[in-house]
Amino acid sequence: MGPKFGTSGLRGLVTELLGSTSALYTTAFARMLLDGGHVKRGGAVMIGRDFRFSSPEIAAICMGALARAGLTPIDCGELPTPALALYGMRGGAASLMVTGSHIPADRNGIKFYRPGGEINKADEQSITALAEKLSSDPDATRVEYGSGADHSVDAIRIFLDRYKTLLHKAGLKGLKVGIYQHSSVARDLLVTILESYGATVVPLGRSEGFLPVDTEAISEETRRNFANWVRKHGLDAIVSTDGDADRPLVADETGTPLRGDLLGLISAKFLKAKVIATPVTSNSGLEEASGAEVVRTRVGSPYVIDAMIEAISVGKEAVMGFEANGGVMLASDFPLAGGTLSALPTRDCVLPIVTALNRSAQIGAPLSAIVAQYSLPIALSDKIENYPYEKSAALMAHLRASESNLAQFLKQIGDVKARSDFDGLRVTLSDGRILHLRPSGNAPELRCYVEASDQDSAEQVMAQGLAALTDWSPSSL
């Protein structure tokens, strides 16, 4: 099928990206920047990468292609995607992050940033069209390994400086926090940041090989590890991120992970946000719980960012966004007691992690009690991996073809009360439970989101939904 753009960046198999494909798409990105007047010839492009085994080679190919296209690559090393984006924005430079985020190590990807922030869907279409046009050009597909001046120390310093005034120095004092380090590019930064606020930090589970950590579909093994670690070390919480550290992971004092959209809500409350942009897959209770104007979007950071930009364009203030995976984006500057937190319109993991822990420290209550205070519907998310594109496309076409097809598919789960085709298929059952099916745009995965009034009902509908998806076959039609 080849690499393609999904909810955030270009992704594909390592075997597809290594070599001419990375050179081609980087050349197309450079051409888009130059043709659109976003950068001048010779302008800098910041390059970052995650800890995947394939990322250094892909980054070198990208740097070679950028230099060949007339731009100046700057090597920012291994760092969080939001740190790279911030560094580029501060310097008025474009950026390129080599990462597959949370997907398995046999896959990788590239995220692209204009000097003003993350590219949008129109930019993706432009890059794709240019790549098709340039695919027969030997210069555009030539593999050359480039390099750039090392700016890794400066990029990390600016990211750390951003959070120095988020809380007062004792904002996390009294908390003992485990950091599940695995292969996250933020694994050492999180230690520095949390200790600077007075937390006692326990590093856990550092990995030399790459581990795909999906903050929306946490594995049973990881959940067991969390439960064991909180007991063994007497922890108040465990925090982590996905591979490129633009999605947070926070577990409470029992080792139970918190939903990403709840982390976004806590951040919104901390910042006193007036407008929140968030996808349709985020918890349906946000409108009531936030006290802010909530704008629903399709899944993917470009859609959230477009909604934030639209809100700013019509004069809205205190505008932010977040996704169900917990990544928080700021379209506005937000005043704080110790200064101002500047806009950063790309997913960030640090803000939701710190604000959730601070809420616990501030009111002297465990994270589990804070979860209960918000009284949101119980929302769960999971996925089926290695679910072929063809199968998911056939399934969605079948379910949309007729009401009887959908009813037959759900006969063991419940009766259909309402349905929506807004980014996947979202079904509200007669008892109020929600089942939302959404094929991944750039990996052979099918995601399942559910909501219910209590944990048992949510777990039941999730199990039933995953079972129905697994059992379905086009051959049965």
Label residue 476 by pLDDT band (50, 70, 90).
Answer: low
Q: Is residue 163 part of a domain?
A: no
**Residue that the structure tokens 């099916």 belong to:** 437
My answer on whether 368 and 397 are in the same domain is: no
DSSP codes joined into one string, 142-192: -------EE-HHHHHHHHHHHTTTTS-TTTTTT-EEEEEEET-TTHHHHHH
pLDDT digits over 102-134, tens only? 888 899 999 999 999 999 889 999 999 999 999
User: Which two structure tokens, joined as six digits, stand for 226?
Assistant: 């969390």
97 Cβ contact list (under 8 Å, min separation 6): 9, 47, 48, 49, 50, 81, 84, 85, 110, 111, 113, 244
Q: Sorting pLDDT into bands at 50, 70 and 90, what band is 2?
A: confident
Same structural domain for residues 363 and 406?
A: no
Under 8 Å between Cβ of 19 and 12: no
Query: Do 395 and 289 belong together in one domain?
Result: no
Model confidence at 463: pLDDT above 60: yes
Q: Is 168 within a domain?
A: no
d(CA 26, CA 462): 40
Total structural domains within the chain: 3
Taking 70 as the threshold, does the pLDDT of residue 27 lie above it? yes
The arithmetic mean of pLDDT across residues 42-54, rounded, is 97
**The domain boundary residue, chosen from 374, 398, 425:** 374
Residue 286 is predicted with a pLDDT of: 96
Q: What is the pLDDT of residue 1?
A: 56
Region 264-271: mean pLDDT is 97
Per-residue DSSP letter, 201: E
Instruction: Judge if 184 and 298 occupy the same domain.
Output: yes
Give the end of a domain, one of 158, 192, 215.
158
Residue 25 lies in a domain: yes
Q: Distance between CA atoms of 164 and 168, rounded to whole angstroms? A: 8
User: What is the pLDDT averaged over residues 431-456?
Assistant: 90
Average pLDDT across the chain, whole number: 94
Which strand (E) or helix (H) includes residue 87?
A: helix 81-90
Q: How far is CA 277 from CA 41, 320, 321, in A?
A: 35, 6, 4
Q: Report d(CA 472, CA 331) in Å as an integer.
A: 42
Q: Residue 477: what pLDDT? A: 57
- CATH code for the domain in which residue 249 is found: 3.40.120.10
User: Residue 36: what pLDDT?
Assistant: 94
- Considering the domain architecture, whether residues 151 and 94 belong to the same structural domain is answered as yes
- Regarding whether 293 and 355 lie in a shared domain, the answer is yes
Tokens of 464: 């039933």
% pLDDT > 70, the chain: 99
Q: What is the pLDDT of residues 391-409, one digit of tens each?
A: 999 999 999 999 999 999 9
| Active site (annotated) includes residue 101 | yes
Structure tokens at 64: 């070679």
Please give the pLDDT value at position 199. Answer: 97
Q: In what order do the strands lie in the sheet with 275-279?
A: 293-297, 275-279, 319-322, 328-330, 344-348
The reply to whether 102 and 185 lie within a common domain is no
pLDDT tens, 219-251? 899 999 999 999 999 999 999 999 999 999 999
Look at residue 331 and tell me if it is in a domain: yes
Catalytic member of 8, 55, 101, 360: 101
Name which residue leads in pLDDT, 45 or 383.
45
Domain boundary among 374, 391, 418: 374
Q: Is the pLDDT of residue 295 over 80?
A: yes
Q: pLDDT tier at 190 (50, 70, 90 boundaries)? A: very high
* Distance separating alpha carbons of residues 436 and 402, to the nearest angstrom: 17
Q: Residue range 150-157: average pLDDT?
A: 98
Phi, psi (rounded to 5 degrees) for 265: -65, -45
pTM: 0.90
CB 3 within 8 A of CB 12: yes
Do 118 and 72 share a structural domain?
Answer: yes
Instruction: Name the band, by pLDDT with cuts 50, 70 and 90, for residue 178.
Output: very high
Q: Is the pLDDT of residue 445 over 90?
A: no
Residues 236 and 326 in one domain: yes
- My answer on whether 356 and 420 are in the same domain is no
Q: What average pLDDT score do residues 215-219 get?
A: 86
Q: In the chain, pLDDT over 90 holds for what percent of residues?
A: 84
Domain that holds residue 148: 4-158
Residues 259 and 392 in one domain: no
Query: Which residues contact residue 317 at a Cβ distance below 8 angstroms, ignoring those fewer than 6 apart?
Result: 274, 275, 332
Greatest mean pLDDT among 115-119, 177-181, 453-457, 467-471 lies in 177-181
Here the CATH number for the domain that contains residue 417 is: 3.30.310.50
Q: What are phi and psi of 255, to 5 degrees?
A: 90, 5
Give the pLDDT confidence of 279-290 residue by residue, as tens digits. 999 999 999 999
pLDDT at position 105 is: 87
Amino acid symbol at 340: T
Asked if 17 and 85 sit in the same domain, the reply is yes
